[in-house]
């Protein structure tokens, strides 16, 4: 009997062990397959997202379009293409002008039914471009202070358009943007995109020609409190490092009108950094300003 019982237990154990192994094999098979499938599905989804083309890629390389590069901001692109940042935001349907991506292709010339000199608010957004966070390597550089906009009397009655004298866009009778200060640094296409003029804090900064304010703020790193005027479809002027800004965006100004006060924001001394840009390209202001 004991031998029979022993043989019976042995058979039962063998049966139970066989069932256990089969159960484990079935468990592993049933549960491993979905994990593998999910992994494959996630990889495919991630790959599809990674290969999604940037906005506007179909216009890459076409005249009048710009492909965003690392480090670009809407303000920098606007200055380098001779346009107003609000125009770029509107032409490209940017709800938030701070959000652009590398490889994105932006329209940087006005549509055929619009003049580039017209500056309108971005209807879909009230967001203003901000400067990117400084790199760690630039931690010791002077910090920009927030722009100070003084309370001033209402601006002069807007003119129909800031058109230059009869003739081409080049027919502008420029004046110096500040009076009497020494020239601290000359134009250098590689190192200095304009000229630096010395002076005392609070000295008037003047519009070098009739124009419209397309930027007034501190959103462009290295320029401090900055005013940019658009004079026509060809020329912009930039006035940097101001202590106080006296104009607002979309305001028309006349040649010689006080638009700011000299300061030292984002600079190591009181100075006015002045640029003239022809179709976005920096040119030597001394070739345009009258002798003094």
What digits encode the pLDDT tens for the residues 65-85? 999 999 999 999 999 998 998
Please indicate, yes or no, whether residues 117 and 149 belong to a single structural domain of this protein. no
Cβ–Cβ < 8 Å for 144, 224: yes
pLDDT bucket at 292, cuts 50 / 70 / 90: confident
pLDDT tens track for 169-178: 999 999 999 9
Please indicate, yes or no, whether residues 67 and 158 belong to a single structural domain of this protein: no
Measured CA to CA in angstroms, residue 150 lies from 25, 130, 176, 244, 260 at distances of 79, 20, 23, 7, 9
Which pTM was predicted?
Answer: 0.67
Distance CA 172, CA 288 (A): 9
**Count of other CB atoms within 10 angstroms of residue 121:** 12
Q: What is the DSSP string of the chain?
A: -HHHHHHHHHHHHHHHHHHHHHHHHHHHHHHHHHHHHHHHHHHHHHHHHHTPPPTTGGGTTSTTEEE--TT--HHHHHHHHT--HHHHHHHTT-SSTT---TT-EEE-S--TTS-TT-----TT------PPPPPGGGTTSPPPPPP-B---PPPPPPPS----SSSSTT------SSSSPPEEE--BTTTBSSEEEE--TT-EEE-SSSEEEEEEES-STTS-EEEEEE-SSSEEEEEEEEEEE---TT-EE-TT-EEEEEB-TTSSSSEEEEEEEETTEEE-GGGTSPP-
Closest listed residue to residue 105, CA positions, set 65, 71, 69, 74 = 65
pLDDT bucket at 168, cuts 50 / 70 / 90: confident
Is residue 45, in this structure, part of any structural domain at all? Answer: no
CATH number at 249 reads: 2.70.70.10
Angle subtended at Cα 260 by Cα 255 and Cα 265, rounded to the nearest 5 degrees: 140
Clarify whether residues 165 and 103 are in a common domain. Answer: no
**4 — pLDDT class (breaks 50, 70, 90):** very low
Is 37 domain-assigned? no
- Report the C-alpha gap between 82 and 110 in whole angstroms: 11
pLDDT tens per residue, range 88-136: 999 999 989 888 999 999 999 998 876 544 433 333 345 566 655 444 3
Identify the pLDDT of residue 288: 97
Q: Is residue 8 part of a domain?
A: no
User: Residue 100: which CATH number?
Assistant: 3.10.350.10
In contact, 242 and 155? CB cutoff 8 Å: no
16: in domain: no
Q: Domain of residue 257: give its range.
A: 141-292
List the end-to-end C-alpha distance of the chain, in Å, as a whole number: 127
Report residue 36: phi and psi, to 5°.
Answer: -60, -40
Which of 68, 95, 123 lies at the terminal end of a domain, its last residue? 123
pLDDT of 262 > 70? The answer is: yes
| Residue 204 maps to a domain | yes
């Amino acid at each position: 009997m004991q031998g029979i019982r022993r043989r019976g237990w042995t058979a039962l154990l063998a049966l139970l062990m066989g069932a256990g192994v089969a159960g484990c094999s079935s468990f592993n098979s049933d549960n491993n397959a979905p994990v593998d499938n999910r992994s494959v599905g996630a990889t495919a989804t991630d790959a599809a997202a990674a290969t999604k083309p940037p906005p506007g890629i179909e216009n890459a390389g076409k005249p009048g379009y710009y492909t965003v590069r690392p480090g670009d901001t809407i303000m920098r692109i606007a200055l380098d293409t001779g346009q107003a940042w609000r125009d770029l935001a509107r032409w490209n349907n940017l709800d938030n002008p701070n959000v652009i991506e590398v490889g994105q292709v932006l329209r940087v010339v006005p549509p055929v039914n619009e003049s580039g000199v017209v500056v309108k608010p971005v209807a879909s957004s009230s967001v203003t471009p901000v400067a990117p966070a400084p790199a760690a390597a630039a931690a010791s550089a002077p910090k920009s202070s927030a722009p100070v906009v003084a309370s001033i009397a209402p601006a002069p009655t807007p003119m129909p358009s800031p058109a230059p004298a009869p003739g081409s866009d080049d027919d502008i009778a420029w004046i110096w943007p500040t009076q009497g200060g020494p020239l601290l640094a000359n134009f250098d296409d590689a190192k200095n995109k304009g000229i630096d003029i010395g002076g005392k804090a609070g000295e008037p900064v003047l519009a070098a020609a009739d124009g419209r304010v397309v930027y007034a703020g501190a959103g462009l790193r290295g320029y401090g409190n900055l005013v940019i005027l658009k004079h026509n479809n060809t020329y912009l002027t930039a006035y940097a490092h101001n202590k106080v800004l006296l104009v607002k965006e979309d305001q028309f100004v006349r040649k010689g009108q006080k638009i700011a006060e000299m300061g030292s924001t984002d600079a190591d001394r009181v100075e006015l950094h002045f640029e003239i840009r022809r179709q976005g390209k920096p040119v030597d202001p001394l070739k345009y300003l009258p002798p003094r």
